Homo-oligomer: A and B are copies of this chain.
């Protein structure tokens, strides 16, 4: 069994983090790098990744997290948020970035830009947000795997009151909506969940060949 598979077997949704264990700056830098490397639709990256360092804010968030103390006890609290204003300007910034990074004239990107603007412009606000949310879930899959390989524990959370999070974190003003909460740190040795066998469907049940 290779290292990544072993790491994914080792991973579980941590219920109790060790509150005394802090991730190193080096570990956090790696996580940031990996988040930014996440694949996304057209490469548009319609998301932001917000670390809540402020202890008071984390305590406020707990009240909207269905008593999941990971929000407080984990070394770092990462919120994955979607951009709510993915409009033509957003696409233009991306084209500027491509032009600069790849040293191509922006005129050569007109067709690609029109295609993105058309495809996203055809969606209503709900559609845009669902599309952006899907991209955030790619980032989640990416970071869960990366962290497991690095021996960093995580707990992906969909169960939180997103409106309250957005209010507390000032996301409205930032043009963001929170979609996922990911406490990061090291598991407590007392978390009994780490000892439970992983439950998965039989390979033949979940994988098909046609």
Residues of A within 8 A of B (CB): 2, 4-5, 8-9, 11, 13, 30, 32-39, 41, 43, 45, 47-54, 57, 94, 97-98, 101-102, 130, 133-135, 137-146, 149-150, 156, 158, 169-170, 174, 196-201, 203, 206-210
Contact = CB atoms under 8 A, between A and B. Distances in A.
A196 B102 contact: yes
Copies of this chain, whole number: 2
B138 A203 contact: no
18 contacts: A4-B149, A8-B37, A32-B207, A36-B200, A36-B207, A39-B140, A50-B208, A94-B199, A97-B200, A98-B199, A134-B134, A134-B137, A135-B137, A137-B141, A139-B141, A141-B141, A141-B142, A142-B144
A175 to B, nearest CB: 12
A43 B138 CA distance: 17
Contacts of A206: 35-36, 45, 47-49
Contacts of A101: 197-199
> Which 10 pairs from chain A and chain B are nearest by CB?
A141-B141, A137-B137, A138-B141, A141-B142, A8-B37, A145-B145, A50-B208, A101-B199, A134-B137, A98-B199
Nearest to A174: B208
A30 B7 CA distance: 13
Contacts of A5: 30, 33-34, 37
Contact of A54 (B8, B36, B39, B210): B210
A39 B156 contact: yes
A199 B102 contact: yes
